[in-house]
Amino acid sequence: MSKQSLSPEQKAIVDQWLQSGEPMLVEASAGSGKTRVLTESVRQIIEGSPKSRSKILCLTFTNKAATEMQERLKDLSKVIKDRVFIGTTHAFALDIIKSRRHELGMDEMPTIIDKESDKKEIVSEVILSNPFLSRHYLNPTSEKITKHKTAAQYQADLLNKCISFISSKKQKLVSLDSDADSPPGRNWTPGKISLYKDYNDLLRNQNLIDYDDIILLAWKILNERPAVANLYSRIYEYVLVDEAQDLSFAQYEFIKALCGDKIRKVMMVGDANQAIHGYAGASSKFMTEVFVEDFNLKESQKVKIQYNYRSSDAVIELANELAGIHQNTVKSYYKGKVEFQVFDDEAAEANWIVKKVNDLIGREEEAYDGKLTLDKIAILGRNRFVFSTLIEKLKEDLALKDKFFLKKGTGILDPQSTTMKIFDLGIRVLSNQKAYLYFNQLIDVLDIPKEIEPTLSKDIQDLKRVLSESNLDYLPQEVFDCLIECWQSIDKDINKFPNVLDRVLKASQVVEEDYERDLIFNDVEEWKEAWGDYVRSVAANAKSVSDFRRFLAMGVTKTQSEHGLTLATVHTVKGLEFHVVFLIGMGQGTFPDYRAIRKGAIEEERNNAYVAVTRAKRELYVSYPMAKSVPWGVQRQPKSEFFRNKEFHQPIQVQPE
């Protein structure tokens, strides 16, 4: 994509920042063109100093946002490769760990735990190996069992609480690396101290890190090694931060440690009304207050993009009303449409949406930028459960049954076939021979008695041994022989990975179980696409099994086929836009979520609704069912408090054909 024109408002902001050489906060509401401001800032820096060696750091919240910025600067790809890092904060932090891990005493790059189930497995091991913790875990009081109904539910709840506790402390950059370290703050009981230390010790012993460790360890390198921080501050002259309203404490402190007192050319861009990740420790205050104070911003360095350049008048009006803001917006070229519908139940709501989508498809209007296709339509909800009835109705519709998808929240690869699960675990073992976590999981998948000791060698002999002991009767020996050959091949030459996948697919032809064979085919296709993404993102001489695994753990693969009608939760569509949006299930208790109502956390829910509304470029249809299905029957619900002053109309009931 070539250079994009800036509006006078956007141009003034870019010019001010580049000419002043000072930090700037840009508050940019949905549709105001913040991505354009960021990318054109990068473009002007490069074009203004083509021979400069100074580098530019662009930090995004999602991999998709990074890809979009790279696409917009595609015409400068050669220069971008040498002078600009565009990626997530976690991706940049991981690069620091890769190049400076010796500062932390790491001989090898650790493996990233990319599954919540793996983390639970480790926490469970920590609890069971600690007498104090195991006593509470294995022998709950009758009162606790009564509260949770069963001992198993109590244990599951305790595991989740332990994981949340550990994550919250890492997001606060807490390190307890030795017995001499004292935990900061209050409420650190002996049990919590033991849990935190033992968990991190277990990770360290297996050369593992979790996702929260990426920022923590990179910050630690910069904070405890001033020479390293100075090196990075000399390399990067400019730092641009996208979606800054979603920065967590750890992410902000990491950026602050990177900049130190040397990097002043910092631009933070965000919208406090779109702050929706408070559950993960994020807060818009790091952008609007802490950054302003730490970098001594004057009023002239705090600017706002006032105009909306994307949405129709109708959508802008509702968004402003919802957020309680009064943008001094120009009139949109498109009038647009917002409608509010109420239905007797979820089936009636779903039937109406299916019919409406069918009626809209194929219409050709200027507002739709040509013909309206399914790719231009999204159906959004607060959680994935609101789609259950709708999905049933879509599957019954002859025109739409194979033309929709439920958008996933992560791109992490998760094999569904047993064969590819074994293949994946074998790769994990080869890439980190200290991680007996994966060896134990391999034993479980293969249905092998626990007597086999998880002692790993540096060759492939242990993998051969466990496969020979498998009790899986639906995978023939030919498949196991193929997997062993594939692991050996990859271990010798990572570039043979595509050929190895073809060999797995060929070997699957001897599998008699149809379901397993179909799953293998789908898994292999996803792995091929993931491998292609990896090859395009890394230098030819830098590929390795362990690096590929880290790439997969960062969720930058594009393994989901996203063609057709989009069904998505609000959290998965940040940064996306559609010509037509249906916002469904807008009942009180669903959106806003009942838990947020109880906790008094309505503002973040309101921000969620704001994000949902502003995904619509032209038309928005808001609806809710007066009765919804729950496990114990049917529950009545009023309309969402966010639209309590709106009049919802009940269409004539649509019966499926």
185 is in an annotated binding site: no
What topology is assigned to 313-410+561-643 in CATH? Rossmann fold (3.40.50)
State residue 323's pLDDT score: 76
Check residue 281 and report its DSSP letter. Answer: T
pLDDT attached to residue 244: 92
Strand duo 337-345 + 302-305: pairing: unpaired
Measured CA to CA in angstroms, residue 201 lies from 129, 172, 373, 392, 401 at distances of 13, 18, 53, 47, 50
| Two structure tokens written together for 318 | 């509702």
Residue 81 and residue 92 in contact, taking contact as beta carbons nearer than 8 Å: no
Low-confidence ranges of the chain (pLDDT < 50): 1, 330, 559
| β-strand partners of 583 | 380, 622
Tokens coding 591: 């959106």
191 labelled ligand-binding: no
CATH fold of 8-98+217-308 reads Rossmann fold (3.40.50)
Amino acid at 226: P
Q: 35 among the known binding-site residues?
A: yes
Residues 6+ apart with CB under 8 A from 475: 418, 419, 511, 516
Separation of alpha carbons 542 and 539, rounded Å: 5
∠ CA(454), CA(457), CA(460), 5° rounding? Answer: 100
Query: Do 88 and 59 meet the contact criterion of CB atoms below 8 Å apart?
Result: yes
pLDDT at 280: 65
Q: How many whole angstroms separate alpha carbon 412 and alpha carbon 426?
A: 17
Please report, as a single letter, which amino acid is at residue 207.
N
Considering Cα of 151, then 157, then 162, then 165, what sign does the dihedral take?
A: negative
| CA distance readout (Å), 436 to 98, 99, 111, 246 | 22, 26, 12, 35
Q: Is-same-fold flag (8-98+217-308; 313-410+561-643)? A: yes
Q: Residue 5, annotated ligand binder? A: no
Query: In the prediction, which pLDDT does 3 show?
Result: 59
3-state secondary structure of 263: coil
**Count of Cβ atoms closer than 10 Å to residue 191 Cβ:** 15
What pLDDT sits at residue 410? 55
Domain ranges of the chain: 8-98+217-308, 111-206, 313-410+561-643, 418-554
Contact 86, 55 (CB under 8 A): no
DSSP result, 552-585: HHTT----S---SEEEEEGGG-TT--EEEEEE--
DSSP string, 483-524: HHHHHHHHHH-GGGHHHHHHHHHHHGGG---HHHHHHHHHHH
Give Cα separations from 634 to 29, 343, 382 (angstroms). 39, 14, 19
CA distances in angstroms from 42 to 88, 93, 112, 222, 402, listed in the order given: 16, 21, 31, 25, 41
User: What does each C-alpha distance from 60 to 241, 260, 582 come to in angstroms?
Assistant: 6, 20, 27
Q: Are 584 and 390 in contact (CB under 8 A)?
A: yes
Residue-level length of the chain? 657
Query: In this predicted structure, what is the pLDDT of residue 559?
Result: 45
Q: How far apart are CA 444 and CA 638, in angstroms?
A: 47
CA distance 442 to 266: 47
Task: Provide the β-strand partners of residue 371.
Answer: 364
627 among the known binding-site residues? no
Q: For residue 216, give the 3-state DSSP assignment.
A: helix
- Please list, in sequence order, all residues whose beta carbon lies within 8 angstroms of the beta carbon of residue 645, skipping any fewer than 6 positions away: none
pLDDT tens-digit series, residues 450-460: 665 555 555 67
Structure tokens at 562: 């996203």
Q: Is 29 annotated as a binding residue?
A: yes
As a whole number of angstroms, the distance between CA 443 and CA 463 comes to 10
Radius of gyration, CA atoms only, the chain: 26
**Residue from 222, 195, 271 nearest 32 by CA:** 271
Kindly report the number of other CB atoms within 10 A of residue 580's CB atom.
23
For the whole model, what pTM was predicted?
0.75
DSSP state of 227: H
The SS3 assignment for 625 reads: strand
Alpha-carbon distances of 521 from 108, 505, 508, rounded to whole Å: 34, 6, 8
Annotated binding residue at 262? no
Q: Is 12 labelled a binding residue?
A: no
